[in-house]
Structure 1
Amino acid sequence: MRGHNNRQTPLSSNEAYSAAHSAQSPKKINEAHNATTNATSALMPQKLTRGSRLSILCSLPQHQRWNYFKDQLLKRCLVALAAVFTASFLLIHILTPAPAPKLYVAIINNALDTSQSKQLQQISAKALKLPQGRTGGITVSSHFDLTNDGLSKLQTMISSQEIDIVIADNARFSQLSGYGYFVSLPSLSQMKSTSTHLSDNFMTFHGYDDSEHADAFYDGSGKGAKHKYGLNITQFAQWRKLATENNQAVLGITQNTRNPEEAREFIEFLDSA
C-alpha cells in the first residue's frame, strides 16, 4: 500500500493570482475598480469627455434624454449663453454709444438754486424741443461751488467739451473769464442772427494772457485783452421769472463748445416773453 503524500503541489502563478483575487472582498474589488475608472477619466482630454456626453445624449432613448441633459449639460449651456449675452451687450454698447447732450448749462454759486435750475431745465427743454438730461438733451446744473471743489470740476468738464454755457454773477464770471474759458460772443457767426438788441447787453472782461513771457512763473489769468465774453441776462424775461434775487447774472459760451446753435437758441429763449 502506497503511503499518503501530505505535500501539496505548488500553485502556478496564474492560479495564485486568481486565488488571491478571489479572496478579496467584493467591497475592495469595487473600490479598486472605481479608483481605476476615476484615474482614467482624469487623464481623458476635456474635448473627449464633452464629446462623450453629447454622444451619450444622442444614443439615449427619447424619454431619458431630458434627465441626462438636465444633469450633465444644462448648467454648461446656461453659462455659455450668459457669456454670449454679456459679450453681445458690451459690443453693442461700444459700437452704439449714448447720444451726447445737446446743451449743458452750468450755474455757478447758486445764481439759481437747485429747484430753480430744475425749472429752467424743464421749460427750456420744452421751448427748444429737446429731451431733458445728458442723453441727447439739455441739462441745467447748479452743482458748481467755486469755494469748494466746483472750480476743478468746472475746468475738467470745460476741457472735455462737456459744458456749453456758464452763468454766474459779475465777480465770479470775471474770475472765470480771466482763465480763458469763454469765447468772444460777437465772433460767433450764430450770434449774428439773434436779436439786434442783444449787443446792448454784451459785457467786456479780461481774458487769459497766453503770450510768451520771460518769467517762467508768470500767471496770465485775467491779464489778457478785453473782449465781449459776457452777456448780461439779468433783465431777460425768462430769467426774471426764476431768479429770486436781483444780483447781476452774466452768461458766457465756453471755448470749443460742440453746440453753438443750441446755445444761441437758449439765449433767444431766455430773452423771449
Structure 2
Amino acid sequence: MLASTLQEKITKTIFGFGIPHLWRFSKSYAFILESGADCNAHRPVLEYLSDDTMDKAGVCVNGRKYYLVMPDWEDGQCEWTKFVLPPGFVSLSVYGGVTKEDLIIGSVNTWVANGRRNGVPLAGRPDVFDSNIKKDLTSTSGYPRAWLVPELSLRRHPGCSHCRISTFEDQTNGGSPLVSDCLQIIRNIEGDASTDWTHLVAGKPHSEVLKFGSCRFGIESTYIGLNINFRVGGQDVIDIINDSAQKFGGGGRVAAKGVMECSSSSNGQGVLWGIY
C-alpha cells in the first residue's frame, strides 16, 4: 500500500471514529434512525423528518432505509420537533473524506454485530487495522459508533434536558446497585417526555428523585448563591445513568457521582448527582 494511500485511510478512520463522539460530546446527539421501511418506500418517516432532511440524510443498507439525524432542541425545551441534520453534515467530506454512507453503514454493521444493541465496546487494534486501514471504514464492529434508533422507539419522545455536560467519578464496589436495576429506571421514565424535577437550593438538601430495586438516583446543589431552585430533566438522568453504566458497569454493578450545571431561577446552578 502506498504511503499516501495509507495516510488517507488512517485519517479517514480517525475522523470516522471521532465525529460521532464529538457530536455526542457537544450534546448534538446525532443518531441513525432506522425507518423500518424498504429502500423504495416513499417518505417513510415524514412524521419525524422534513422532505429536505429525508432527501439529504438517507442511505440504503441491506434493503432498508436509514437516516443520519439529530434532535432539534434547546436546553429546557420539551416540545416535540422534527429531527434535523447534525452540524457539519454538508461538509463531512472535508474531514478525511468521510461520507454519510461511511457513518451510517458502519454504525448499522456495528449494531448488527452487537446483536442489534447499542453500546458495543471499541474495536480491537488488529481489527481496526485489517478492516479500516486495509479495506474500508464500514467493516469493523465498533467503528464508527453512532447510536441506532428503530423508528418504533421514537413513539417515546426525548425527555426534558436542563443540564450541561457532567463530570463522572466511579464509586463502584461489591455492594453497589445492579446495572440492570439502574437501567430499569431509564425504562420507567423514557416514555414520559415531560419528566423533570425542580429542587430547592437553600440548605443544599439531598433529594432521592428515582429508584428501582437496588438502584437510587439523587441530586443536591453544590453551593448556595442567588438561586432559589434548579431543574433536572428526565433526559439528563437517562444520559447520566447510561454513561455511568457504560463507563463503570462492566462488572454488573455500578455506583457513581458527578457535578453538572443546570438551569435555575437566576443563574446556572452547580448540581451534585449520585447513583447509589
Q: Same fold (TM over 0.5)?
A: no
Instruction: Name the TM-score, length of structure 2 as normaliser.
Output: 0.20
Q: Which has the greater radius of gyration?
A: 1
More strand as a share of residues: 2
More helix as a share of residues: 1
